Structure 1
Amino acid sequence: MVNIKPTASASICGGPWKTSAALFYTEINDIDEVLGAARRALDLTSKGIDVSIRYTGGQGHAELNWTYAEVETGGATVTTTEYYAGRPVGHMIGLSGAWQANEQWTLGGSAEIALENEDTAGVGGMEALPGYEVVNVYASYTPRKISGLEVRLDVRNLFDEQYSSRTSDGIGLPSSIVPVTEPGRTIALTTNLRF
Structure 2
Amino acid sequence: MNIEILRDRPFSEGSGVIGYPELPRLIDRKYLGSNPDAFQNLLPRIFDHLSELSGYYPGFDEWLNKKVLPGLMSGERSILLEYRRGDLSGLAIVKDDESEQKLCCLRVLPPYQGTGVGLKLFERSFEVLNNDSPLLSIAEEQLVVFRKIFQYYGFEFAKIYPDYYRPFKAELSFNGLIESDSSFSLLKPSTGFQLPKFRKSTHG
TM-score (norm 2): 0.29
More relative contact order in 1 or in 2 (CA 8 Å, sep 6+)? 2
Higher alpha-carbon Rg:
1
Which of the pair is proportionally richer in helix?
2
Which of the pair is proportionally richer in strand?
1
